[in-house]
């Protein structure tokens, strides 16, 4: 009998304790990312950006304490991502869903955000349709059309008349190809040929040779990050592509730090489009890079900035709603939010809830002894053109 009474007392205390914790007003964020598996490095960079933001700005916002609940999807696994999103809301009582490196996972979780009416911040996944899947969704990273359409029109206007495109044969690659070609044609250029390579392709020489056969002014390449950028860069150099005669254009991952180290001087002259690179010269960015270096002993990349700005959006939205965490209030607060990020000025489009930002064009040059992406041009306030066709 005594044991039963103690047990009941214990339960009561626990219940009250839980209630008391809630009274302190904690905002829980379900952070759903591929922490293990082949995308783990991307998740690490994003997580670092998040951690840095919280270190610099404390762990309270809008009067509430921020608590992160990390969940691992293990890679491309939309069924797991959906379950983790549901569990975050139902079991862990999360108010906000965030993270999302991969498009299939983001799409699956967006369904949950729409059904449960929870604010969701996509910090990396770059396919346009994601923001249409839930009215409570905002994105702080980039969209593939945003970068590639801009690069296409820029290339056509900067002396390139004929181009050959090569992309990886899956969603993001095909997306990049479609929008780059559209931008290039809209700018008056001519596509002389195109090819798609298989996703896990180790050897690019056959494709580069085909590109060379068409004698273009430039070659556009899109590959996902990892081993492929360096492999393709080397294949281009080995097949005799001279970047001063035949320009090479690509998107962020093509000239990532590890790829540059691997390619060496063969990378000189590659032109790249990105929303961020650690070499940007603004004072905001230089402070960010220094803080990031001090904390994590490596240079930040565009993944980290997606996480950093994602947290900023959450904090600013909570500030604006005064701590209210329901989906409607938060998304209303997020719409139109504008701020200065390490990448430059950015804002959340009130109609599409997608990111509006400056698109930078870089060229690989030698700075001192090292290869760096040096900014050569930029286009401010670029909206996602992918929404314009809807």
Residue list 162-191, contact with another protein (CB under 8 A): 169-172, 174
Among 54, 65, 67, 74, binds another protein (CB under 8 A): 74
Closest to another protein by CB, 86 vs 146, is 86
The three-point CA angle 333-335-337 to 5° equals 80
3-state secondary structure at position 324 = coil
Least gap, CB of 320 to another protein (angstroms): 28
Least gap, CB of 234 to another protein (angstroms): 8
214 binds another protein (CB under 8 A): no
- DSSP element (H, E) containing 195: strand 190-197
Closest by CA position to 299, among listed 284, 283, 311, 288: 288
HSE value, Cβ hemisphere, 13 Å, CA-based, for 246:
21
Closest to another protein by CB, 126 vs 318, is 126
240 binds another protein (CB under 8 A): yes
Residues 290-319 that bind another protein (CB under 8 A): none
Q: What is the DSSP letter of 58?
A: -
Is the Cβ–Cβ distance between 321 and 65 less than 8 Å?
A: no
Q: Determine phi and psi for 234, rounding to 5 degrees.
A: -65, -40
213 binds another protein (CB under 8 A): yes
Residues binding another protein: number (CB under 8 A): 72
Is the Cβ–Cβ distance between 102 and 74 less than 8 Å?
A: no
202 binds another protein (CB under 8 A): yes
Least gap, CB of 198 to another protein (angstroms): 4
Among 82, 353, 372, 383, binds another protein (CB under 8 A): 82
State both tokens at 367. 């700075």
195 binds another protein (CB under 8 A): yes
76 binds another protein (CB under 8 A): yes
Q: How far apart are CA 312 and CA 306, in angstroms?
A: 10
Closest by CA position to 104, among listed 200, 44, 172: 172
Closest by CA position to 328, among listed 98, 124, 113: 113
Among 26, 60, 205, 329, binds another protein (CB under 8 A): 205
Closest to another protein by CB, 206 vs 338, is 206
Least gap, CB of 154 to another protein (angstroms): 27
Binding mask 127-156 for another protein (x = CB under 8 A): x-x---------------------------
Closest to another protein by CB, 48 vs 358, is 48
Q: Determine phi and psi for 198, rounding to 5 degrees.
A: -60, 155
Among 83, 161, 320, 378, binds another protein (CB under 8 A): 83
| CB environment 365-379: b (16+ within 10 A), e (fewer) | beeeeebbbebeebb
Largest Cα–Cα separation, the chain: 90
340 binds another protein (CB under 8 A): no
114 binds another protein (CB under 8 A): no
Q: How far apart are CA 146 and CA 239, in angstroms?
A: 31
- Indicate left, alpha or beta for 100 from its phi (over 0: left) and psi (-120 to 50: alpha): left
249 binds another protein (CB under 8 A): no
Closest to another protein by CB, 40 vs 337, is 40
Among 22, 25, 38, 319, binds another protein (CB under 8 A): 38
Least gap, CB of 378 to another protein (angstroms): 27
Closest to another protein by CB, 185 vs 210, is 210
């Amino acid at each position: 009998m005594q044991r039963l009474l103690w047990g009941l007392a214990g339960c009561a205390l626990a219940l009250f304790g839980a209630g008391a914790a809630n009274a302190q007003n904690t905002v829980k964020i379900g952070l759903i990312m591929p922490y293990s598996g082949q995308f783990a490095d991307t998740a690490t960079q994003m997580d670092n950006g998040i951690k840095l933001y919280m270190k610099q700005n404390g762990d309270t916002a809008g009067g509430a304490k921020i608590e992160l609940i990390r969940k691992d999807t293990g890679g491309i696994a939309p069924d797991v991502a959906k379950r983790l999103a549901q569990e975050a809301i139902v079991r862990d009582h999360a108010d906000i869903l965030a993270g999302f490196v991969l498009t299939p996972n983001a799409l699956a979780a967006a369904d949950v955000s729409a059904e449960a009416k929870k604010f969701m911040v996509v910090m990396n996944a770059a396919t346009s349709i994601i923001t249409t899947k839930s009215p409570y969704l905002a994105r702080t990273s980039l969209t593939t059309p945003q970068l590639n359409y801009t690069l296409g029109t820029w290339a056509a206007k900067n002396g390139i008349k004929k181009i050959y495109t090569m992309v990886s044969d899956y969603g993001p690659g095909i997306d990049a190809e479609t929008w780059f070609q559209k931008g290039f044609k809209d700018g008056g250029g001519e596509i002389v040929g195109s090819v798609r390579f298989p996703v896990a392709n180790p050897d690019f020489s056959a494709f580069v040779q085909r590109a060379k056969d068409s004698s273009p002014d430039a070659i556009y390449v899109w590959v996902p990050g990892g081993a492929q950028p360096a492999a393709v860069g080397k294949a281009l150099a080995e097949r005799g592509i001279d970047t001063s005669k035949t320009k090479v254009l690509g998107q962020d991952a093509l000239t990532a730090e590890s790829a540059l180290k691997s390619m060496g001087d063969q990378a000189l002259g590659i032109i790249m489009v990105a929303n961020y690179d650690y070499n940007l010269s603004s004072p905001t960015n230089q402070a960010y890079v220094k803080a990031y270096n001090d904390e994590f002993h490596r240079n930040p990349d565009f993944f980290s900035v997606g996480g950093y700005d994602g947290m900023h959006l959450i904090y600013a939205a909570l500030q604006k709603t005064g701590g209210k965490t329901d989906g409607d209030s938060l998304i209303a607060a997020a719409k139109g939010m504008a701020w200065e990020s390490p990448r430059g000025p950015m804002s959340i489009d009130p109609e599409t809830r997608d990111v509006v930002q400056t698109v930078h064009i870089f060229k690989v040059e030698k700075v001192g002894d090292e290869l760096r992406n040096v900014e050569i041009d930029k286009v401010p306030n670029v909206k996602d053109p992918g929404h314009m066709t809807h």
